[in-house]
C-alpha cells in the first residue's frame, strides 16, 4: 500500500510557539485516519497545518512523496480537498455554484466548466443528498445542509487525500450515517485517503482504520480502534471524572448515584438498563443482580449501581450468588423486578429471591422511584414476619405457576399482580404494619 500523506518531525502551533511537536504520520491508499481528543487539544491545528492554512513551525508534510511547501496552489488542490469548520463567504452563490468551485483546479484559464465537469458536480450533489437545493442560495441553507454542500465541493475535486474537520458537527443522525457511508465508499472503492477529526468517538470506532489520540500534552496514543478503545484510554484522554465511558456501547454513562442502595433491581438480558438510567436521573442509589458478566445489563450496571451481584459468563446462579443477592436485597430494604425480565432455564433460580423477599417482609415495589419513601416508612416487626410465615403456601403459589414449573419464559411482570393481591390480603389483617408501594 503506497503512502498518500506523510509527516516527519512536524511541529504545529501559532506564531513560533509549538502546540504539538514531533508528529509522525503515514496514511496509505484508501485508509481512514481519525483524530480524537478534547476541545483545544490541537486537532484542528494539525489539520490546518497539513492543508497549508497554517504555517508549520518545523518538520515536513508530503503528499505522495512531494513536499507540500513546494507545490503550487493548483497542484495542491488537485491532490487534496478540504472541509473545515470555518464558514465560507458565498454571497449570491447557488449551491450548485459552490459545489462547482471544486472543479476549478481542472478548468481552463477562464474557469469554464465542461459537460464532464457539470456531470461531476451533479453526481457529487446527488451523492450527498442536496441536488434538490442546487438552485437555492447557499446562505439560505441550514448549517447541516451547508456542510453537505461543502462535502460535495470536496468530492468534485476528485482528490487523492480528503481532509475534514469535524464534518458531522451540524448533521442529524440520518445524515451522519450517510456521510460516513460516503467516506467509506470514497476510501474503499476509489482509494481516497481520508484524515478527519471527530467528537463522536463512537463513530470514530466504527469508521476508522487508525485512531490518533490528541491530548493537551501531544499525541497520546495511535492504533487501530480495538487497540485504542480499551481500558481507561478514553477516560484518561478526556479526563472524565463524573461518569464512565462504556467501551462496549461506545457511549457515556453519567455519574452514579451516591449512598446506600434504596432498592435492589432484579434484572438481566437488557431488562435493567432503562431502570438503571431512570434511577440515576433521580439520583436514587441502587444495587442489582444476578447478572452474568456477558449480560448487556452488566455493562451499565457496573457504571451506575452501588453493588452488582455478578457471575461468570454462561454460568447459572450459584447458592453463594443467591445468598449474596438476598443479603443485598435485605440491605436495600426493597426489591424491584425489572418489568421486561424473563425467566428461563439459566436464571430460574432467581425466582426464589422474590419469594424469599416476601417471606422476610421486604417490600416488593411496583414503582422503583418509591424506593426512598419505602425505605423510610416500611417497618418490619415480628408480627409482620409471622403473617408472611403463615402465608408460606400462599406466597409460593404465585411464583411457581404451571404446576411448580420454572423456566417457562413468562415475563416477570406477571408475578407482580400476585404479590399485590397477597399484600392486600395482609393489609386487611394488619393495615398499620404493612404498606404497599
Number of alpha carbons in the 13 Å side-chain half-sphere of residue 18: 12
Helices (H), 157-257: 173-190, 201-207, 225-228, 233-237
How far apart CA 258 and CA 33 sit, in angstroms, is 40
pLDDT above 80: residue 436:
no
- How is the chain split into domains, by residue range? 3-239, 251-429
pLDDT at 372: 59
Nearest residue to 203 via CA among 164, 250, 244: 250
pLDDT at 251: 81
pLDDT at 246: 85
pLDDT mean over 169-178: 88
CB 38 within 8 A of CB 215: yes
pLDDT above 70: residue 397:
no
- Tell me which of 13-22, 125-134, 392-401, 405-414 is least confident: 405-414
pLDDT above 60: residue 432:
no
pLDDT mean over 84-93: 79
CB proximity list for 131: less than 8 A, separation 6 or greater: 122, 125
Model pLDDT for residues 217-266, shown as the tens digit of each residue: 889 999 999 999 887 888 899 988 888 888 888 888 999 999 999 999 99
pLDDT mean over 146-161: 93
Average pLDDT, the chain: 84
How far apart CA 102 and CA 81 sit, in angstroms, is 8
CA dihedral sign, ordered 121, 123, 127, 133: positive
CATH 3.40.50.300 fits 3-239, yes or no: yes
CB 351 within 8 A of CB 343: yes
pLDDT at 376: 52
How far apart CA 405 and CA 343 sit, in angstroms, is 11
pLDDT above 50: residue 433:
no
pLDDT mean over 67-92: 88
pLDDT at 143: 84
pLDDT mean over 389-417: 41
CB proximity list for 390: less than 8 A, separation 6 or greater: none
User: What is the band of 320 on the pLDDT scale with cuts at 50, 70, 90?
Assistant: very high
Over pLDDT 70: what percentage of the chain?
84
pLDDT above 50: residue 371:
yes
pTM of the model: 0.76
How far apart CA 271 and CA 268 sit, in angstroms, is 6
pLDDT at 89: 74
Q: Which residue has the higher pLDDT, 243 or 136?
A: 136
pLDDT at 384: 45
Nearest residue to 149 via CA among 126, 172, 169: 126
Cis preceding-peptide flag for 277 (omega within 30 of 0)? no
Q: Which residue has the higher pLDDT, 374 or 382?
A: 374
Q: How many CB atoms lie within 10 A of CB 378?
A: 19
pLDDT at 144: 86
Cell readout for 367 is: 414503582
CB 8 within 8 A of CB 59: yes
User: What is the band of 414 on the pLDDT scale with cuts at 50, 70, 90?
Assistant: very low
b/e sequence 323-359, b meaning 16+ C-beta within 10 Å:
ebbbebbeebbbbbbbebbbbeebbebbbbbbbbbbe
pLDDT above 70: residue 383:
no
Burial class (CB in 10 A: 0-12, 13-18, 19+), 17: exposed
pLDDT at 266: 97
How far apart CA 150 and CA 155 sit, in angstroms, is 9
| Beta-strand relationship, 80-83 and 193-197 | unpaired
Cell readout for 417 is: 399482580
* Winning range, highest mean pLDDT, from 5-9, 141-145, 393-397: 5-9
pLDDT mean over 17-23: 92
Amino acid at each position: 500500500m503506497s503512502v498518500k500523506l506523510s509527516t516527519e518531525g512536524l511541529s504545529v502551533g501559532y506564531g513560533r510557539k509549538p502546540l504539538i511537536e514531533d508528529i509522525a504520520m503515514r496514511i496509505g491508499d484508501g485508509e481512514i485516519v481519525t483524530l480524537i481528543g478534547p476541545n483545544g487539544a490541537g486537532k484542528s491545528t494539525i489539520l490546518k497545518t497539513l492543508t497549508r492554512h497554517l504555517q508549520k513551525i518545523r518538520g515536513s508534510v508530503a503528499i505522495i512523496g512531494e513536499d507540500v511547501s513546494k507545490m503550487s496552489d493548483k497542484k495542491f488542490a488537485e491532490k487534496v480537498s478540504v472541509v473545515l469548520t470555518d464558514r465560507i463567504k458565498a454571497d449570491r452563490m447557488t449551491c450548485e455554484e459552490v459545489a462547482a468551485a471544486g472543479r476549478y483546479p481542472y478548468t481552463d484559464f477562464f474557469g469554464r466548466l465542461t459537460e464532464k465537469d457539470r456531470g461531476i458536480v451533479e453526481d457529487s450533489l446527488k451523492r450527498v443528498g442536496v441536488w434538490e437545493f442546487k438552485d437555492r442560495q447557499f446562505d439560505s441553507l441550514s448549517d447541516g445542509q451547508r456542510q453537505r454542500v461543502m462535502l460535495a465541493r470536496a468530492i468534485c475535486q476528485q482528490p487523492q487525500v480528503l481532509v475534514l474537520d469535524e464534518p458531522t458537527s451540524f448533521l442529524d443522525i440520518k445524515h451522519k450515517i450517510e456521510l460516513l457511508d460516503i467516506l467509506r465508499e470514497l476510501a474503499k472503492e476509489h482509494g481516497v485517503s481520508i484524515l478527519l477529526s471527530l467528537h463522536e468517538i463512537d463513530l470514530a470506532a466504527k469508521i476508522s482504520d487508525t485512531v490518533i489520540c490528541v491530548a493537551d500534552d501531544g499525541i497520546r496514543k495511535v492504533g487501530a480502534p480495538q487497540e485504542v478503545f480499551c481500558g481507561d484510554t478514553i477516560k484518561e484522554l478526556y479526563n472524565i471524572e463524573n461518569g464512565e465511558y462504556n467501551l462496549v456501547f461506545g457511549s457515556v454513562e453519567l455519574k452514579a448515584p451516591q449512598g446506600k442502595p434504596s432498592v435492589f433491581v432484579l434484572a438481566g438480558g437488557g431488562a435493567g438498563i432503562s431502570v438503571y438510567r431512570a434511577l440515576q436521573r433521580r439520583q436514587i442509589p441502587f444495587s442489582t443482580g444476578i447478572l452474568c458478566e456477558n449480560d448487556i445489563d452488566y455493562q451499565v450496571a457496573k457504571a451506575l449501581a452501588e453493588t452488582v451481584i455478578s457471575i461468570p459468563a454462561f454460568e447459572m446462579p450459584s447458592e453463594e450468588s443467591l445468598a449474596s443477592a438476598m443479603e443485598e436485597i435485605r440491605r436495600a430494604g426493597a426489591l424491584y423486578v425489572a418489568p421486561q425480565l424473563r425467566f428461563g432455564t439459566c436464571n430460574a433460580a432467581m425466582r426464589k429471591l422474590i419469594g424469599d423477599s416476601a417471606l422476610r417482609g421486604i417490600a416488593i415495589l411496583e414503582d422503583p422511584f418509591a424506593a426512598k419513601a419505602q425505605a423510610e416508612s416500611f417497618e418490619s416487626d415480628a408480627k409482620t414476619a409471622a403473617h408472611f410465615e403463615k402465608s408460606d403456601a400462599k406466597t409460593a403459589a404465585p411464583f411457581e405457576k404451571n404446576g411448580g414449573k420454572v423456566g417457562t419464559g413468562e415475563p416477570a411482570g406477571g408475578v407482580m399482580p400476585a404479590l399485590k393481591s397477597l399484600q392486600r390480603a395482609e393489609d386487611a389483617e394488619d393495615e398499620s404494619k404493612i404498606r404497599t408501594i
